[in-house]
Amino acid sequence: MNQQSNFPENFLWGGAVAANQCEGAYTEGKKGLTPVDVLPNVAGGRWEAMLNPTKALETKYDFYPSHESIDFYHHYQEDIALFAEMGFKTFRMSICWARIFPNGDDAAPNEEGLKFYDHVFDECQKHGIEPLVTINHFDTPIALMKNYGGWRNRKLIDFYVHYCEVIFKRYKGKVKYWLTFNEINMLLHVPFIGAGLILNKDEEKNANQLKYQSAHHQLVASSLATKMAREISPEFKIGCMLAAGITYPDTCNPDDVWKALNANREGYFFVDVQSRGYYPSYSRRLFEELKIKLEIQDGDLEVLKKYTVDFVSFSYYSSRVASANPQRTEGTEGNVFSTLKNPHLKASEWGWQIDPLGLRITMNELYDRYQKPLFIVENGLGAKDTVKEDGSIDDDYRIDYLREHIREMGEAIQDGVECWGYTTWGCIDLVSAGTGEMSKRYGFIYVDRDDNGKGTNKRSKKKSFGWYKKVIQSNGVDLA
């Protein structure tokens, strides 16, 4: 192919997973419990359980999808070999905090947990794959919630920083790219998995105070981790991670535009701190209106200022719409945040609207605002797949989705946006975070397991497997 690539030569193509959605082996190797371990599947009321963790912790459900999941814990060699066959340059994964510190506050780390990730990173290295590691992907140890109240408690900063110190020292030389918190803005919507917050009825009334205080602790923890990373290895690159997706105004009515601006700021708030190094000026009024009084200790603001991230990573599935018109109520599903329906867009089987140009817009917005390299660490289509009699899976719908998004990502790069890489979400089928389903599949690799945990866990290649291999081989030129 003679056509010129829109992507830089060393562009990091790959795929992404998270420990809590793929490892399984939920008590093996002395691992402690994390939020997903107490969440049922959709039939058991997963969403309600996420929003009412007190009840979730007291209830004995029939089935917990994460307990076995796709058993990456025992299949990592086979899985990484398949990623290598596709030509992955990078593999985004997360370390489960509770494998390293089962209670979160243990004095010494758990060697079995550390060894497991040694093996995973060695396997990546063997195949020339650069790991991109999320330090906390929705899995603050349950013990830290029960004993300390989760991230509302400042002590969590010390436990997190200790955990970072251990993994930074242990995996120096094996891992270069780190993300401090997955989708940090998610804690405003699902505080249980985002910040280990279990709120009682009284606290519910005061939820904003607790959420933003927890956010402050995570932001300080993220900066302290960055500080430590700089001390441990000059090779390390530290990124923040935002659940992104531009919010459009429903119309050109200034009221709608104002509403959309504020919806976007809700997420930017976090990256403003992590990337620019200070609380944005609009937060003063926001805190006043929400009656929030942040407890900020001496030195916090200096740390935030001094240790900002090297790059801005984000997930993108869809754009959103905001309207000031109370009559405009027709909504649709989305990645946790509810949004109004955009009449110009089609949607996935789960109602997530499909907007490839929205990715280009989001990238341009983020780059204009922060002027730091971007990394798209999640993007993809959750869809039902059908296995044909001969075992093949023709997932053209997934190829179409990814093709259009990759095309727009290339356009954004040509617009002048610096982007280091792209990892599709759920490169191998895994348990859905939102619904706990297996049937909401994102992978290039099919895993024989259903919503009730039945199946052989056998891996097989979908049509998109060969397609993505060509995309990587041609550095994004061959998207046919």
Binding site for ligand BG6 (CB under 6 A): 18, 21, 182-183, 243, 315, 335, 378, 382, 425, 432-435, 440
Which amino acid makes up residue 167? I
- Measured over the CA atoms of residue 220, residue 225, residue 226 and residue 232, the dihedral's sign is positive
Tokens 């923040």 locate to: 240
Residue of closest CB approach to ligand BG6: 434
Catalytic, 389? Answer no
- Whole-number Å distance between alpha carbons of 15 and 125: 16
**Catalytic member of 23, 123, 130, 183:** 183
Q: How far is the CB of 163 from ligand BG6 (least distance, A)?
A: 19
Work out how close the CB of 480 gets to ligand BG6 at its nearest, in angstroms, rounded to a whole number.
27
Nearest to ligand BG6 of 209, 379 (CB atom): 379
The answer to whether residues 461 and 444 touch, using CB atoms and an 8 Å cutoff, is yes
Asked whether 70 and 437 are in contact (CB, 8 A), the reply is no
b/e for 41-61, b at 16 or more Cβ within 10 A?
Answer: bbebbbeebbebbeebbeeeb
- Is 266 known to be catalytic? no
Question: Residue 282 and residue 272: Cα distance in Å, rounded?
Answer: 11
**Token pair of 20, please?**
């809590």
The tokens for 291 are 């009656």
| Nearest one of 140, 110, 122 to 28, comparing CA atoms | 110
Given the complex with ligand BG6, which of 122 and 349 has the nearer CB atom?
Answer: 349
Q: Which is nearer to ligand BG6, 191 or 382 (CB)?
A: 382
Among 130, 333, 378, 437, the one annotated catalytic: 378
Query: Closest Cα to residue 281, out of 297, 296, 268?
Result: 268
Name residues whose C-beta falls within 8 Å of residue 135's C-beta, 6 or more positions apart in sequence: 94, 95, 97, 160, 163, 164, 167, 178, 179, 180, 181, 225
Nearer to ligand BG6, 360 or 440 (CB): 440
Q: How far is the CB of 232 from ligand BG6 (least distance, A)?
A: 26
Looking at the Cβ atoms of 109 and 196, the one nearer to ligand BG6 is 196
Q: How far is the CB of 432 from ligand BG6 (least distance, A)?
A: 4
**d(C-alpha 99, C-alpha 340), whole Å:** 39
∠ at Cα 435 (434, 440), nearest 5°?
A: 100
Tell me whether residue 267 or residue 434 sits nearer to ligand BG6 (CB atom).
434
List residues with catalytic annotation. Answer: 183, 378
